[in-house]
Amino acid sequence: MELSAALLLELGVILTALSLLGALARRFALSPIPLYLLAGLALGEGGIAPVPASGTFVEAGAGIGVVLLLLTLGLEFTVAEFTVSLRRHLPSAWVDLVLNATPGAVMGWLLGLDAGGVLALAGVTYISSSGIIARLLVDLRRLGNRETPAVLSVLVLEDFAMAAYLPLLAVLAAGGTWRQALLGLLVALAAVLVAFTVSYWWGHHLGRLLLHREPDPEQLVLRVLGVTLIVAALAESVHVSAAVGAFLVGLSLTGEAADRARAVLGPLRDLFAAVFFLAVGLTVSPGALIPVLPAALLLALVTAGTKLASGWYAARREGAGRRGRLRAGTALIARGEFSIVIIGLAGVRHDRLGALVAAYVLLLAVAGPLLTRFTATRAPGPGPEAAPS
């Protein structure tokens, strides 16, 4: 196989730049996510140093990055624990939906968009970024915090809601009928129910299969990643998030299987997660941001507040104190991959939404991690908090 010199050079420059930015962020005890996003802005079309030859690799790597982030996040919990948390947070999901979809729908109506455009913008403001938030929880050592199950429950319920939302949006954006939309919705919901049931009742057999004959690290990486990508692909094929499929695989692995998987997947997750954050920045053209910046900033301020409120409510149901509620609310602020997917579906008929959503996503993808880092900064060490905080 022959590789072009341009591709190799661009990938070398990208990885070196990401390494330097990551070292700089950790020197000041920050998450590297905002710097990766800004690097993508600089390297994208219209930026100071475009990297066109590596676009296909970065796009594919970004998808793998989201899958790995949610897989490793699922490894931190068991299906039984998470099922209890999901039941507790169904009211949180409704609060999250109403508070955060409403501003987008109102903005779409004020802009004079049709039903498809209003629905698209409502989805953009509703859905948080699973990829960014998963990495933040790891970077800031908050996996053991009292409020973290609330944050994860809200995220996963949002992703489940996308299973119903995306078929509706896709049909409306393409000019299809409500009958077609309803059929897609029913298929997606049935797939979610089947996947979760399989994970809950038979997921423990997966760990035994992956550890059959004591595989070495290379074999274990191949097995875990292969199974995860297959499940993610099946989820995506029925309009369920690939992230949900990966998360369910992670939940299914417990004990020794989870411990070994975490150890071997860590470096791979960090590499592709960095590519994912870079890719979000690459989707934004700097020249298109200026005209829509006021509207995007207004929408970002409003929905940062509504996410803070919904996270506060969810963490209170989990028994977290004021600091924990504030951490949960700020953690949910970041928007990212799903918002880009949504506007990709609606973009054919709503070109003017693209720049607005790109500016909005970039603002909250950068501001969310920074607010999370500097708000309620006291974080416990490994393990659960001894008391609500």
Query: Per residue in 24-75, pLDDT tens?
Result: 988 876 778 888 888 888 887 777 888 888 888 888 998 898 889 888 878 8
* Token pair belonging to 322: 């004021």
pLDDT for 387 beyond 80: no
Helices marked H in 203-292: 204-210, 217-237, 242-252, 255-282, 286-289
Instruction: Please give the C-alpha separations between residue 311 and each of 7, 221, 308, 336, 375, in angstroms, as whole numbers.
Output: 42, 34, 5, 17, 14
Give the tens place of pLDDT for each residue, 183-212.
767 776 777 677 677 777 887 788 888 888
Closest by CA to 355, choosing from 263, 283, 247, 264, is 283
Alpha-carbon torsion (371, 122, 243, 36), positive or negative: negative
Cα Rg, the chain, nearest whole Å: 20
Compute the distance between CA of residue 111 and CA of residue 105 in angstroms, rounded to an integer: 10
pLDDT for 235 beyond 50: yes
Q: Which residue has the higher pLDDT, 299 or 178?
A: 299
Instruction: Please give the C-alpha separations between residue 101 and each of 24, 133, 224, 286, 340, in angstroms, as whole numbers.
Output: 36, 19, 36, 26, 16
Give me the pLDDT at residue 130, please: 84
Give the tens place of pLDDT for each residue, 111-166.
888 877 888 899 999 999 888 898 888 888 888 899 999 998 899 888 778 767 87
Which positions ≥6 away from 41 have C-beta within 8 Å?
Answer: 47, 281, 282, 284, 286, 362
What are the chain's domains? 17-374 (1.20.1530.20)
What are the b/e assignments for 314-340, b being 16+ CB within 10 Å?
bbbbbebbebbbbbbbbbbbbbbbbbb
Give the tens place of pLDDT for each residue, 308-361.
999 999 999 999 999 999 999 999 999 987 787 787 666 544 556 777 888 898
* Token pair belonging to 352: 């003017």
